[in-house]
Amino acid sequence: MREVDVVVIGGGSAGLAAACKCKEEGIENVVVLERDKELGGILNQCIHNGFGLHTFNEELSGPAYAERFIDKAKALNVECKLNTMVTHISKDKVVEYVNPEEGYVRVQAKAIVLAMGCRERTRGAISIPGYRPVGVYNAGTAQRYLNMDGYLVGKRVFILGSGDIGLIMARRMTLEGAKVLGVAEIMPYSNGLARNMKQCLEDFDIPLYLSHTITNIEGKERVSGVTISEVDSNRNVVPGTEKHFDVDTLLLSVGLIPENSLTEEAEIEMNPVTKGAMVNESYETSIPGIFACGNVLHVHDLVDFVSAEGAKAGESAARYIREELKSAGGFNCKAKQNVSYVMPTRINVENVKDKVEFLFRVRVQARNATLNLYKDGELFRSIPKRHVAPAEMEKLIMKKSDLEGIKESFEIELVVD
Amino acid sequence: MVCINCPMSCHLKVTLEDGQVKAVSGNTCPRGETYAIKELTNPTRMLTSTVNIKGAIHNGLPVITSGDIPKDKIFDVMKEITAAEVCAPVKINDVIIKDVCGLGVDIIASRSMEKVND
């Protein structure tokens, strides 16, 4: 069996950043396994701009951002296998994959970086009843058809869910000549970034129906219309509030789920909130030497954060191989009131170099709120926040010295007036 | 108003006096201030789309405007982009349409695409 230092599963933004960092740390034998026919992952279909402001101080399109990392990986001689599907990883870090050139292969890795990204939630996940006519697509699928394959999936479109992909596709299909009749969002607030509300909907006079959901998809062979209804504060449909739209296409932008079938097969401890692995400050999972980063760990809004996380996981894999990491010990990081989760979930201060970057999401949209940080149950610091929203991931940087001495827990809560 | 320059989506507060922008706050970078003034006087947007490409890994080549274009010219520019066609190979930042609609802005490739044989 071939032996390699680090196997990176996934050649998107997280995986490429991780592989490049491993090389920069002096690890020789790094292999990226990518199932698509080219590197870059989901960035290749995200042709809109706004990527890379933090990483490159420029506003790049998704493919342009990906190209920077692909070029870097080439320059660093990272071995990348395309059209390669990983079928299994084991607790002792044997990776099984298949591709057309080599067939079925097993390799023994010293460390593994999980960077498989995420998938879209489908119609089945949100249980819209009715027939299965042609014309119901996930927004990201329609995006790939349009931006890479050159097919516009419909002419009169309604979109369910105000996630960023749905908003981006509302604009994109409008530009290509389709009529987007509206976007329905079951929550009383938008799930997309504020900038996308403005430049994708408002710019094109596309109405947003907050506290609304789809209650009927009409048409047997092809979608012929949709009905939306208002929902109350418990998200129950309010009878008599139906609105009908004649459309041939329904796009679903109803959330993303980390793609963790390999992770679960390896019996890695999972976080039920993020649907990703539990990781410590080094982005190491419950199995020493297996790391996770990017959207497979928790769904991000900004690719810059994904690349940064990938680089950290790559650096940790290198430190693990050099036997510099302590896998056990430390304290837990928890979400308190109005916070849905905190990443990482465990911290061993001994592994921390100078600081820890916490990423977390709040549960409510609010202005002039306060973040409270607790060490072992005692209030340690309060931070005023002018604006918070569930759609916008929050970042908190803590110095190592602020985390030393914690025995049991570090907790973050959000207090809203 | 919300700044649309980057996904940070900063919430800007703009103070107007006699229709003139007096002060901008809430921005975390200088681009926020520029955006607020422009949005209230001459709104512009970056535009991204795809151009048909032959002989490449995909049928569409992602393209981007080399600078902002006036918001009310978006659909005029889209017409030219839709009519354009290129052949692989293309390098990132290659000019695909020079001085589109006479706006002094080019349509450029936003990624490289090699020629493939199939």
Average pLDDT over residues B87-107: 97
Average pLDDT, whole number, for chain A?
A: 95
Cβ neighbour number for residue A275 with a 10 Å cutoff: 19
The answer on pLDDT for A21 being more than 70 is yes
Q: Do β-strands A225-230 and A243-245 pair in parallel, antiparallel, or remain unpaired?
A: antiparallel
Q: Which of A13, A55, A83, A147 to mutate to test the interface with B (most CBs of B within 10 A)?
A: A147
Question: What is the predicted pLDDT for the residue at A297?
Answer: 98
Check A49 against B71: CB less than 8 A apart. no
A316 or A194: which leads in pLDDT: A316
CA–CA distances in Å: residue A96 to residues A7, A9, A22, A62, A303: 11, 11, 21, 30, 28
Nearest partner of A86 among A261, A315, A339, judged by Cα: A261
The full set of domains in chain A, from first to last, is 1-120+255-328 (3.50.50.60), 122-254 (3.50.50.60), 329-417 (2.60.40)
DSSP track, A294-316: GGGTS--S-HHHHHHHHHHHHHH
The residues, any chain, with a CB within 8 Å of residue A256's CB and separated by 6 or more, are: A118, A119, A120, A121, A163, A295, A299
Domain boundaries, chain B: 1-41, 48-109
Check A64 against B110: CB less than 8 A apart. yes
Average pLDDT, whole number, for chain B?
A: 92
Longest dimension (CA), chain B: 63
Question: Chain A partners of B48 at a C-beta cutoff of 8 Å?
Answer: 47-49, 61
The answer on pLDDT for B118 being more than 80 is no
Question: Which residues 221-260 of A have a C-beta within 8 angstroms of B?
Answer: none
Question: Any chain B CB within 8 A of the CB of A9?
Answer: no
Check B64 against A203: CB less than 8 A apart. no
Tokens of A196: 């996308």
The answer on pLDDT for A157 being more than 90 is yes
Residue A193 binned pLDDT confidence (cut-offs 50, 70, 90): confident
Question: What is the predicted pLDDT for the residue at A383?
Answer: 96
Question: Chain A partners of B74 at a C-beta cutoff of 8 Å?
Answer: 175
Q: Which of B9, B39, B73 to mutate to test the interface with A (most CBs of A within 10 A)?
A: B9
Check B4 against A199: CB less than 8 A apart. yes
Tokens of A16: 């490429």
Residue A86 binned pLDDT confidence (cut-offs 50, 70, 90): very high
Output the CATH code of domain B48-109: 3.10.530.10
Least confident of A3-12, A119-128, B48-57: A119-128
The C-alpha atoms of residue A305 and residue A54 are separated, in whole angstroms, by 8
Q: Which of A34, A65, A152, A198 to mutate to test the interface with B (most CBs of B within 10 A)?
A: A198
- Tokens 């030219």 map to which residue? B80
Question: Any chain B CB within 8 A of the CB of A205?
Answer: no
Question: Any chain B CB within 8 A of the CB of A390?
Answer: no
Q: Do β-strands B107-109 and B60-65 pair in parallel, antiparallel, or remain unpaired?
A: antiparallel
Find the helix packing angle between B74-83 and A164-175, rounded to 10°: 70
Question: Chain B partners of A302 at a C-beta cutoff of 8 Å?
Answer: 7
The C-alpha atoms of residue B91 and residue B114 are separated, in whole angstroms, by 8
Check B64 against A61: CB less than 8 A apart. yes
How far away is chain B from the Cα of A106, in angstroms, using its nearest Cα? 29
Question: What is the predicted pLDDT for the residue at A94?
Answer: 98
Omega cis (within 30) before A344: yes
Average pLDDT over residues A264-268: 97
Q: Number of residue pairs across A and B with CB atoms under 8 Å?
A: 92
Question: What is the predicted pLDDT for the residue at A274?
Answer: 95
Q: Do β-strands A85-89 and A79-81 pair in parallel, antiparallel, or remain unpaired?
A: unpaired
pTM for the predicted model, two decimal places: 0.93
Least confident of A164-178, A190-204, B98-112: A190-204
Average pLDDT over residues A334-362: 96
Average pLDDT over residues A329-347: 95
Angle at A101 between CA A97 and CA A105, to 5 degrees: 30
Question: What is the predicted pLDDT for the residue at A192?
Answer: 84
The C-alpha atoms of residue B41 and residue B57 are separated, in whole angstroms, by 42
The answer on pLDDT for A270 being more than 70 is yes
How does pLDDT run across A239-249, given as a tens digit for each residue?
Answer: 999 999 999 99
Average pLDDT over residues A46-55: 90
How does pLDDT run across A272-317, given as a tens digit for each residue?
Answer: 999 999 999 999 999 999 999 999 999 998 999 999 999 999 999 9
What are φ and ψ of residue A10, in 5° steps?
Answer: 115, 125
Point out which residues pair with B95 in neighbouring strands: B108
Question: Any chain B CB within 8 A of the CB of A147?
Answer: yes
The C-alpha atoms of residue A11 and residue A42 are separated, in whole angstroms, by 10
Closest CB to B58 among A59, A148, A387: A148
The C-alpha atoms of residue A196 and residue A198 are separated, in whole angstroms, by 5
Q: If you ran DSSP here, which 8-state letter would residue A351 be given?
A: G
Least confident of A256-265, A273-282, A361-370: A361-370
Question: What is the predicted pLDDT for the residue at B7?
Answer: 61
Percent of chain A surpassing pLDDT 90: 88
Check A63 against B111: CB less than 8 A apart. yes
Check B71 against A64: CB less than 8 A apart. no
How does pLDDT run across B41-60, given as a tens digit for each residue?
Answer: 889 999 999 999 999 999 99
- Please state the separation of Cα A281 from the chain's center in Å: 19
B40 or A279: which leads in pLDDT: A279
The residues, any chain, with a CB within 8 Å of residue A368's CB and separated by 6 or more, are: A384, A385, A386, A417
Angle at A30 between CA A28 and CA A35, to 5 degrees: 165
Contact predicate A387/A403, CB 8 Å: no
Nearest partner of B91 among B69, B110, B73, B77, judged by Cα: B110
ipTM: 0.90
Nearest partner of B60 among B80, B34, B84, B39, judged by Cα: B84
Q: Which of A34, A38, A47, A58 to mutate to test the interface with B (most CBs of B within 10 A)?
A: A47
Question: Chain A partners of B75 at a C-beta cutoff of 8 Å?
Answer: 175
Cβ neighbour number for residue B69 with a 10 Å cutoff: 21
Q: If you ran DSSP here, which 8-state letter would residue B72 be given?
A: G
Question: What is the predicted pLDDT for the residue at A175?
Answer: 97
